[in-house]
Amino acid sequence: MATSKHPVRVGIGGWTFEPWRDNFYPKGLSQKLELQYASRHLTAIEVNGTYYSTMKPDSFRKWHDETPDDFMFSLKASRFATNRRVLAEAGDSIARFIGSGIAELGDKLGPIVWQFMPTKQFDAEDFEAFLALLPKKEGSRTLRHVMDVRHESFISPDYQKLAKKYKVSTVFTDSDKFPSFEEPEGDFAYARLMMCAADLPTGYAPQALDEWAKRAKAWTTSPVKRDVFVFMINGAKERAPAAAGALLERLGWTPSEKA
């Protein structure tokens, strides 16, 4: 069941990137104001920094306070939980990440992305043990988990059964570097589009953006009513904000006047 004001949210990875200055961001905009600006021209941001280091509650509280009420953050979970030989032993790392203050984001807390190395193969017993460790709530906040699995062995009915059993979603990608199910799977759809081209002002050709808008809308009701998250990630990263903005325009969303 869709829970957010916007059934389709579109964003980028992070908000600090040198080529976005004087490109996405207005010339001369203070770096301290970049999150404020980005959050008024997009509807979501996927945070990559939480993958590499443990944030403090004050950071999440600051992000919450600097962004509009209807904005949402997706957080990439700690690599110490996913980049390990035995996933069943990830309990402490999972607890450390969940308890780092993410609940300070309140209603702006979006899905948590658990990203695995491309070399990590599917082991049903070990992966089920990992899924069983993921908490359903943090404080009063309901948590939504999405698996970014990057080895072809995960494209199997056995994995799909586990994902359904534990009510986790699976990342969909258009990248030719990583395997993906044909459509986003789970109670919410989560797409990471990675094919932005440097020679296209909007990263994707207009016809391609038209198609992605059409598909994203369809995902909101197929196979069930659900929220959809689309992030322009990687590829020609300098084009990601323009691609996200062009997709939002096709979905009928316009930026806030207050930047």
The residues spanned by each domain of the chain are: 8-250
Write out pLDDT tens, residues 60-103. Answer: 999 999 999 999 999 999 999 999 999 999 999 999 999 999 99
Candidates 217, 160, 154; CA nearest to 186 is 160
Pairing of β 189-193 and β 172-173:
parallel
pLDDT of residue 160: 98
- Distance of CA 211 to CAs 6, 202, 215, 236, Å? 19, 14, 6, 20
Under the banding of pLDDT at 50, 70 and 90, the label for residue 257 is low
Q: In the predicted model, what is the mean pLDDT of residues 167-190?
A: 96
Candidates 233, 114, 118; CA nearest to 178 is 118
pLDDT of residue 22: 81
Between CA 208 and CA 199 the distance in angstroms is 14
Q: Which residues, 6+ apart, have CB-to-CB distance to 73 below 8 Å? A: 44, 45, 46, 47, 63, 67, 105, 108, 109, 110
Q: Do residues 60 and 98 touch, judged by C-beta distance below 8 A?
A: no
pLDDT at 207 over 60: yes
Pairing of β 137-138 and β 141-142:
antiparallel
Between CA 76 and CA 166 the distance in angstroms is 19
Number of other residues whose CB lies within 10 A of the CB of residue 201: 11
pLDDT at 3 over 60: no
Between CA 71 and CA 258 the distance in angstroms is 14
pLDDT at 144 over 70: yes
> At which residue do the structure tokens 């089920």 appear?
128
Q: Any idea how long the chain is?
A: 259
Q: In the predicted model, what is the mean pLDDT of residues 177-190?
A: 96
Q: Which two tokens stand for residue 122?
A: 């599917």
Write out pLDDT tens, residues 113-142. Answer: 999 999 999 999 999 999 999 999 998 899
Write out pLDDT tens, residues 56-65. Answer: 999 999 999 9
Between CA 100 and CA 97 the distance in angstroms is 5
Pick the CATH number of 8-250 from 3.20.20.410, 3.10.450.50, 3.40.50.720, 3.40.50.620: 3.20.20.410
Eight-class DSSP state of 26? P
pLDDT at 1 over 80: no
139 Ramachandran zone, left/alpha/beta (phi>0; psi -120 to 50): left
pLDDT of residue 62: 98
Q: In the predicted model, what is the mean pLDDT of residues 26-38?
A: 96
Q: In the predicted model, what is the mean pLDDT of residues 32-37?
A: 97
